[in-house]
Amino acid sequence: MNTLQTDRLVLRPLAENDVNEVYFLRSDAEVGKYIKRDKLKDTDGALLFIRRIIRDVSKGKNYYWAISTPEDSTMIGSICLWNFNDTKTKAEVGYDLHPNFQGKGYMNEALNAILTLSFDTLKLTEVSAYTDYRNLASQALLTRNKFKLQSYERDEDNENNRIFTLHKTFR
């Protein structure tokens, strides 16, 4: 998996030395308030998560990037493509960002880079995103990037989620 660079960001492979940042992102109440997942209890859990992600990326199951800035390689967030369909034409995008970096357009920049890769390099035809109906910032991000709410679809695992989809032809 290649490192991607935008004007203000570096999207790089996740590494074991990101353990403290992964622990924070996956245990912080603010970051996780709209995400239905178990919070990590310690850095050992974060290290196991990192190793699973690295293994899955190496097997081609998903793509996962740690987000940092060119000035500082410290991870400030993550973005991933996962939950591919059988023909690898559709995937789900997921993301999180440290609260100190929210509201500055960083995730918009990261998402644009991933969407370009998704449609131009990976040749996906559709990218979807699941977001809690209360997460207005995430919904605004998706809408700004031409994702459309799929009001007729439901997330069977989380009734609070709304599903947004972007088709290649509408990008």
Contact 41, 27 (CB under 8 A): yes
**pLDDT score, position 1:** 62
Amino acid sitting at position 22: V
Domains along the chain?
A: 4-170 (3.40.630.30)
Query: 3-class SS at 166?
Result: strand
| Global model pTM greater than 0.85 | yes
Q: Is 24 exposed, middle or buried (0-12, 13-18, 19+ CB in 10 A)?
A: middle
CA atoms within 13 A on the CB side of 70: 6
Residue 88 has pLDDT above 80, yes or no: yes
pLDDT tens digits for range 50-67 = 999 999 999 999 999 999
The stretch 65-88 carries a mean pLDDT of: 96
pLDDT tens digits for range 150-171 = 988 888 888 889 999 999 886 6
User: Cα(164)–Cα(171) distance, rounded to whole angstroms?
Assistant: 14
First to last CA, the chain: 23
